[in-house]
Structure 1
Amino acid sequence: MTFDRWNPLNDTPVFPARRYASIADRIGKVLHTRNDVLLIQAEAVVALEAVATSLARPGLRTLNIVTSPYGLWFGGWLRRGGAEVIDLAAEPAHPIALATVEATLRANPDIAVLSLVHAESASGILNPLKEIVALARARGIVTVVDAVASVGGHALDVDELGIDIAVIGPQKSLAGPAGLSALSVSPAAWELISQENGPRDSILSLLDQKTWLDGDRGALPGTTAPLEFFALEAALDRVEAEGLGALVARHERAARATRTGLTALGAEPWTQQQKASHLVTTAVVPRAADPKALLAAAAPLGMELSSGVGPGAERLVRLNHTGLRARFDIVLGNVAAYGMALGKLGFPADIAAAADAVASIYAD
Structure 2
Amino acid sequence: MEHEPLLMIPGPVPIPQRVRSAMVQQAINHRGPEFGAAYADIVRVLKPLFGTENEIYVISGSGTAGMEAAVANFGKDKKIVSLVNGKFGERLQKIGERYGSVTALGSEWGTPLDLPGLEAALEEGAEVVTMVHNETSTGIRNPAEQVGALAKKHGALFIMDGVTSIGGDMVEADRWGVDVAIVGSQKCLAAPAGLAAVSVSQRAWDMIAENRPFYLDLAAYRKSGSGTPMETPYTPAVPLFLALREACRIIDEEGVEQRFARHRRMADAVRAAAGAWGIELFPVVDEYHAYSNTATAMKIPAGITDKDLRGTVKKMGIEIAGGQDHLKGRIFRIGTMGGVGTPEILATLAAVQHALRKHGFDAGDGVEAAAGVLG
Q: TM-score, normalised by structure 1?
A: 0.88
Q: Which residue of 90, 101, 105 corresponds with 1:84?
A: 101
Q: CA deviation at 1:103?
A: 4.1
| In 2: Cα distance, 1:143 partner to 1:314 partner | 34
2:315 is matched with: 300
* Alpha-carbon displacement from aligned partner over 1:252-271 (angstroms, at most 9, x marks no partner): 00011111011112222223
Match of 1:335 among 336, 345, 349: 349
Question: What is the aligned partner in structure 1 of residue 136 from structure 2?
Answer: 121
- Structure index of larger Rg: 1
Cα offset, 1:130, TM superposition: 1.2
Choose which of 160, 185, 188 in structure 1 pairs with 2:200. 185
Q: Report the alpha carbon displacement of residue 272 of structure 1 after superposing the two structures with TM.
A: 5.7
Residue in structure 2 matched with residue 229 of structure 1 by the alignment = 241
Structure-2 change in CA distance of 1:354 and 1:77 (3 Å) = closer
Residue equivalent to 2:79: 61
Structure 1: distance between partners of 2:282 and 2:144: 20
Indicate which of 79, 94, 102 corresponds to 2:119: 102
Aligned 8 A contact 1:306 1:319 in 2: yes
- Residue 84 (structure 2) pairs with residue 71 (structure 1): no
Provide the aligned length of Structure 1 versus Structure 2. 347
CA drift of 1:191 comes to 1.5
Residue 23 in structure 1 maps to residue 38 in structure 2: no
Identity %: 29
Letter in 2 for 1:57: K
Task: State the 1:185 CA deviation.
Answer: 0.4
CA distance in 2: counterparts of 1:125 and 1:311, whole angstroms: 17
For 2:120 and 2:325, locate their aligned partners in 1 and report how far apart those are by CA, in whole Å. Answer: 26
Structure 2 unmatched ranges of 5 or more: 1-21
Q: Name the residue aligned to 1:3.
A: none
CA distance in 2 between counterparts of 1:256 and 1:117 reads 22
CA contact (8 A) 1:280 1:320 kept: yes
One-letter amino acid of the counterpart of residue 208, structure 1: A
Find the aligned partners of 2:319 and 2:23 in 1 and give their Cα distance.
29
1:34: how far off?
Answer: 1.5
Match of 2:189 in 1: 174
CA deviation vs aligned residue, 1:117-170 (integer Å, no higher than 9, x gap) = 000122211111111111111211110000010012211011111210001112
Amino acid at match of 1:31: F
Work out whether 1:347 is the aligned partner of 2:361.
Answer: yes
1:75 is displaced (CA, Å) by 2.2
Q: Is the CA contact (8 Å cut-off) linking 1:93 and 1:312 kept in structure 2?
A: no
Q: Which runs of 5+ in 1 are unaligned?
A: 1-6
Q: CA deviation at 1:8?
A: 6.8
- Name the residue aligned to 1:139: 154
For 2:102 and 2:274, how far apart are their aligned partners in 1?
39
CA distance, structure 2, for counterparts of residue 235 and residue 53 of structure 1:
29
Residue 340 of structure 1 aligns with an amino acid whose one-letter code is H
The answer to which of 236-245 and 128-137 deviates more is: 128-137
Offset of residue 362 of structure 1 = 1.7
Report the equivalent of 1:245. Answer: 257
Distance 2:51 2:264 in 1: 19
* Deviation of 1:244 (Å): 0.7
Q: 1:104 to 1:227 in 2, by over 3 A?
A: same
CA RMSD of aligned residues (A): 2.1
Partners of 2:28 and 2:35 within 8 A in 1: no
Aligned match of 1:4: none
**Following the alignment from structure 1 to structure 2, what is the Cα–Cα distance between the partners of residues 8 and 232?**
9
SS of the aligned residue for 1:332 comes to: helix
Cα contact 2:138–2:283 (8 A) shared by 1: no
**1:209·1:221 contact (CA, 8 Å) conserved in 2?**
yes
**Distance verdict in 2 for CA 1:95–1:152, change over 3 Å:** farther
- Equivalent residues of 2:129, 2:151 under 8 A apart: yes
Q: Which structure would you say has the larger RCO, counting Cα contacts within 8 Å and 6 or more residues apart?
A: 2
* CA 74–8 in structure 1, closer or farther in 2 if over 3 Å, else same: closer
User: Quick one: structure 1 residues 263 and 173, their matched pair in 2 at CA, closer, same or farther if it must change by over 3 Å?
Assistant: same
- Output the amino acid matched with 2:342: F
Of 117, 122, 130, 2:145 maps to: 130
Name the stretch that deviates more: 211-220 or 227-236: 211-220
Is residue 154 from structure 1 mapped to residue 169 from structure 2 by the alignment?
A: yes
Specify the alignment match of 2:179 in structure 1: 164
> How far apart, CA to CA, are the structure 2 residues paired with 1:341 and 1:159?
44
Note if contact 1:144-1:165 (Cα within 8 Å) is conserved in structure 2. Answer: yes
**Contact 1:133–1:161 (CA under 8 A) maintained in structure 2:** yes
Whether contact under 8 Å (1:98, 1:128) holds in the other structure is no
CA contact (8 A) 1:303 1:330 kept: no
